[in-house]
Structure 1
Amino acid sequence: MAPPRCFALELPDCTLAHFTLGADVSSYTDAPSARPDPGLAALLGPPGRSYSLCVPVALDASCGARVQAARLHQRLLHQLRRGPFQRCQLHRLLCYCPGSLAGGAQHGFLLRDPSDGPDTRCALLKLLGTCQEAPCPHLGEFEADPQGQLWQRLWALQDGGQLQVGRARVVPTAEPLLHPVVPDLPNSVVFPNREAARAVLEACTPFITEARAVLNLVDQCPRQVQKGKFQVIAIEGLDATGKTTVTQSVSDELQAALLKSPPACIGQWRKIFDDEPTIIRRAFYSLGNYIVASEIAKESTKSPVIVDRYWHSTATYAIATEVSGGLQHLPPAHHPVYQWPEDLLKPDLVLLLTVNPEERAQRLEGRGLEKTREEAELEANSVFRQKVEVSYRRMQNPGCLLVDASPSRGEVLQTVLRLIRTHCNGF
């Protein structure tokens, strides 16, 4: 018998509440452990009414099916922020199979209608009726019985009408050792090699014209490249840590080539891919790293190379975006997701510029630069920023050397140069 599907609901305090669905009340006792925790009951029970939507994707789904599911999820998200749903609260919801090493977590939403509006369910079913993808998500509706137990009714559209296709009791379940999306990260956002990222953009070519252009550039790059005799230093950091200034200054001081990821040859399409779901966005940035690697191989035969962001940025933002909840839900230190891809040219040194949140906020004021979705999230969501920072610190092979970028530009430059001369031969 297949194990039951479980759900992970992100609560307002960035913890996760885990529950499963039982066939009927006779299967369970009235023990306190069988009752939902207060945070879960507050989001699923009265007053108000809550609804669930999860986008189906099979454990063995093809790359194309994953891309299709991600685009449907994003389209539903945009719709759930408009019209009759604006009065509702949106929470991240995952559906997963506990103990599965293959991943396959389904992303979805919990929609909380505080006023329990009579038309919300109809509007949601109408929204699902616009989905052309198969299989289409079912709509779950939560309710409490007179004893305070929570139940979920499952609705579907059939012949233009609403049809109840199931009813099950909400039962709390234990939190898994790893966040439900972690086993799936190499298939979805932290690609372990060039081919995994390439397969995603290949699946996008029917609807994103620029995907083919990116692939053509990637395919012109050798699959195996070797670093030249000169040193390669990657400099990482959040926006407003002084990264652009430092990389330029270090390049000038060391007479080094200055490269940037994503490279200029695909930078013109960055806005297009930033508007796509995470799996597509991260595939674009991952392939950009392989193009940069080809440039590094050429330039490092002639001079040292400074790289403004590289693989660590791609991975940390992906992990922080995909893993719901707070810092405690990130993959633990030394997890394979923090390892550098074996087929990507590796730098000799990675420096991570850091400033405290208050200083970074002051620097951001008045910059007036256009922000990506994730850069805007850094400013608005302190938990997301902390997840990015912690993920940076957990990177391995190579790890990041931290640099306090709070002092003056001159002091930071001297610190960076000292670290380069200490850790890299030839300077």
Structure 2
Amino acid sequence: MAFARGPRAPPLLGCLPRPRRGHCARAMAPPPRFALELPDCQLAHFALGDAPDARDAPGRAAALLGAPGRSFSLCVPRRSAGCAARVRAARLHQRLLRQLRQGPLGQCQLRQLLGYWPDAGPAGLQRGVLLHDPRDRPDTRSALLALLDACPDAQRPRLGEFVGDPSCQVWLHLWERRDQQGWQLAGRQRVVTVPEPALHPVVPDLPGSGVFPHREAARAVLEACTPFIPEARAVLDLVDQCPEQVQKGKFPVIVIEGLDATGKTTVTQAVAESLQAVLLRSPPACIGHWRQIFDEEPTIIRRAFYSLGNYIVATEIARASAASPVIVDRYWHSTATYAIATEVTGGVQHLPPAHHPIYQWPRDLLEPDLVLLLTVSPEERVRRLAGRGLERTREEAELESNSVFRQKVETTYQRMENPACHLVDASPAREEVLQAVLGLIRGHCDLQLLQGQ
């Protein structure tokens, strides 16, 4: 099955080209362009109707959209670009994914699908999913409609069904629920392939959904969560006790980052002992016992929690660095790196390019003197993880099972700027790694302020 151009199709209700008036009008209609993650972590971009830059060549998504089998798209509506709307849409998307993995629908294949308006910024993004039934079972559609029936009208995802025709065209049929009449087909729109945009469509949305540029952006997210996550209010109360701007003391502040099983905990403790330094961790102990609660939430909420934890730690750093060197076990780089690697679909090639503003340190967050990134080979990580039996977050577990995700995390770490990460090979013996770390610290920090030297 290939995408081809043909005569103009009748308009599809709710899938018209971008309205001209305001973001609210755009939010009511599905976006005109989509980015579909393919099994090889490539992205296929397609549009509905007549796109001026449509291609006549067969699209790489044809195997998922056309026969054999049948595919359905479900897009989560976002009524506005506001913070509360982002949170609601993210939780709905997460709940939708969980429901699609259960019962008869759990036998289908799921692929990430993003809807977007080119050049529309954060307001022009909607998250969704493509569900592909390779066997084209008759009960798949009915199970989807039953799932949507259970959703409140304002939160109901939009359901589309892809259908190929004898002329090798692919059409998106939209299902609509009408009062007293139930579910009905509302029309169809032709699917055409379009070129990949210069920047991944999710990147403009990142400053409001995971890589927060300042404290207030993260705070607004948890404020929107207080009606359904009681712990969010407790976190906010602690954050509000912290000064908005803090200054580092005269002693050096060194952050040590690293993936799970790179020896980060061992190294940070050894370095702190060698330098007679205070050892701090992010998230700090005052909120660390709530990690499991926020780790179960979508990226926007999870990263807001960790971002605010960084600001609490910054207050602790400012106080401690007035009297001694400070070693910090993870800080802002971890928060931003995992958000980018999680939200940017596809492979490493789809990450924001080097020197993009998303890799810049927040202006209102206390900046360390040096950031070290411990690295080991994938094989060494697997060997170290074997038999550890430690509780890991969902993202840390994915590092082990998903090599593409691990590559995206590693690449993102290396693209961080102001300050950048200095790489340290953590494969050798513990003492050798410790000496390499201490050597870097001595080379970048004021030796007269390092105690015990």
Specify if TM > 0.5. yes
Say if 2:209 is the partner of 1:188.
yes
Residues 142-153 of structure 1 mapped to structure 2, 5 A cutoff: 142-153=162-173
Q: Is the 8 A contact 1:103 1:181 kept in 2?
A: no
Q: 1:131 to 1:327 in 2, by over 3 A?
A: same
Letter in 1 for 2:32: R
The answer on 1:54 being equivalent to 2:72 is no
Contact 1:227 1:296 in 2 (8 A): yes
Match in the other structure for 1:107? 127
Determine if the alignment matches structure 1 residue 297 to structure 2 residue 297: no
Aligned partner of 1:86 among 96, 106, 114:
106
For 2:43, the equivalent position in structure 1 comes to 16
* Alpha-carbon shift at residue 166 of structure 1 (Å): 2.5
More off after superposition, 66-75 vs 156-165: 156-165
**How far is the alpha carbon of 1:129 from its aligned partner?**
1.4
CA gap of 1:101–1:65, structure 2 versus 1, over 3 A, is: closer
The one-letter code matched in structure 2 to 1:21 is: L
Match of 2:105, as an amino acid?
Answer: F
* Structure 1 residue 353, shift from structure 2 partner: 0.2
What is residue 70 of structure 1 aligned with on the other side?
90
Q: Does 1:272 align with 2:301?
A: no
| Residue 407 (structure 1) aligns with | 428
Distance 1:216 1:265 in 2: 11
Alpha-carbon distance in structure 1 between the residues aligned to 2:68 and 2:311: 52
Which of 140, 145, 157 aligns to 1:120? It is: 140
Q: Distance in 1 between matches of 2:182 and 2:244?
A: 54
Matched, 1:198 2:219: yes
Runs of 4+ in 1 over 4 A off after TM superposition: none
**In 2: Cα distance, 1:28 partner to 1:407 partner:** 56
Matches of 1:28 and 1:207, distance apart in 2: 44
Identity %: 71
**Mapping of residues 167-246 of structure 1, within 5 Å:** 167-246=188-267
CA displacement 1:342-366 (0-9 Å, x = unmatched): 0000000000000010001100000
Q: Which amino acid aligns with 2:84?
A: G
Contact 1:152 1:167 in 2 (8 A): yes
How many pairs are equivalent?
420
CA deviation after TM superposition for structure 1 residue 138, in Å: 1.4
- Structure 1 SS opposite 2:243: coil
Q: Work out whether residues 35 and 149 of structure 1, in 8 Å CA contact, stay in contact via their aligned partners in 2.
A: no
CA offsets per residue over residues 36-76 of structure 1, 9 Å max, x none? 42x31100111100000011124x42111110000000000
Structure 1 contact 35–171 (Cα < 8 Å) conserved: no
Instruction: Confirm or deny: 8 A CA contact 1:125 1:156 kept in the other structure.
Output: no
1:83-130 per-residue CA deviation (whole Å, 9 max, x = no partner) reads 011210000000000122345311110000011011111111111111
Q: Return 5+ residue gaps in structure 1 as ranges.
A: none
For residue 178 of structure 1, report the CA deviation from its aligned partner: 0.2
TM-score normalized by structure 1?
0.96
8 Å CA contact retained: 1:103, 1:182: no
Aligned residue for 1:112, secondary structure, equals: strand
Counterpart Cα distance in 2 of 1:77 and 1:133: 18
CA RMSD of aligned residues (A): 1.6
Q: Equivalences for 1:335-350 in 2 at 5 Å?
A: 335-350=356-371
**How much has 1:17 moved relative to structure 2?**
0.3
CA, structure 1 residues 28+226, in 2 after alignment: closer, same or farther (shift >3 Å)? closer
Distance 1:377 1:21 in 2: 34
| Partner in structure 1 of residue 18 of structure 2 | 2
Tell me which of 396, 401, 416 is aligned to 2:437. Answer: 416
Distance in 2 of aligned mates of 1:97 and 1:234:
39
Answer whether contact 2:118 2:124 (CA < 8 A) is retained. no
SS in 1 for 2:124: coil
Matched, 1:353 2:374: yes
Please state if 1:158 is matched with 2:178: yes
**Matched position secondary structure for 1:134:** helix
For residue 349 of structure 2, give the secondary structure of its aligned residue in structure 1: helix
Q: Match for residue 354 of structure 2?
A: 333
Q: Counterparts of 1:61 and 1:316 in 2: how far apart (Å)?
A: 23
- Contact 1:57 1:104 (C-alpha < 8 Å) held by counterparts: no
Q: Deviations over 1:268-326 (max 9, x none)?
A: 10000000011000000000000000000000011100000000000000000000000
Q: Distance in 1 between matches of 2:233 and 2:58?
A: 49
1:139 aligns with 2:122: no
1:387 alignment partner, SS class: helix
Are 1:155 and 1:162, in contact at CA under 8 Å, matched by a contact in 2? Answer: yes
**In 1, Cα distance between equivalents of 2:259 and 2:105:** 34
Taking a change above 3 Å as real, the CA distance of residues 391 and 133 of structure 1, as seen in their structure-2 partners, is farther
Match of 1:34 among 43, 52, 56: 56
Deviation of 1:136 after TM superposition, in Å, equals: 2.3
Where in structure 2 are the equivalents of 1:356-371 lying within 5 Å?
356-371=377-392
